[in-house]
Amino acid sequence: DCPFCEPDADRVWLQNDLGIVLWDAFPVTEGHSLVVPRQHVASIYELSQEVQAALWALVAEARNRLNNDLHPDAFNIGLNDGEAAGQTILHAHIHISPRRDGDVVDPRGGVRWIVPSKARYW
């Protein structure tokens, strides 16, 4: 039942032996992608150091390609590790979200907005 274990082929746009890069099915920005290990685990920290390194290499390669193809102004890159952190699909994955100047009114704080009452420190 996991959407990442056997994804539709048209969603996969980059891969290596240990992971794949998918277009997000519900993108928050143009180019929003997910880096997913081939091994089904809930947390990236259940993976060996070798697999984690392979995933971060895919993040770097995907970011580079998205940068060259879409020319965004910035990126948010991160993961939700566990249900309390907002993880809804319990197959580890890393989000890459290209960002553009003006896509939100005030982007300051980035991922700090997971707890809005504590996000604003400036």
The span from the CA of 115 to the CA of 38, in Å, is 31
- For residue 30, how far is the Cα from the chain centroid? 13
Q: Which letter does DSSP use for residue 104 in this model?
A: S
Please give the C-alpha separations between residue 91 and each of 39, 50, 53, in angstroms, as whole numbers: 9, 18, 17
Of 66, 61, 75, 54, nearest to 23 by C-alpha is 66
Per the residue annotation, which of 40, 71, 93, 95 is the catalytic one?
93
The number of residues in the chain equals 122
Instruction: Determine what percent of the chain falls in helix, strand and coil, rounding each to the nearest 5.
Output: 35, 20, 45
Is 95 annotated in the active site? no
Q: Give the residue numbers marked as catalytic.
A: 93
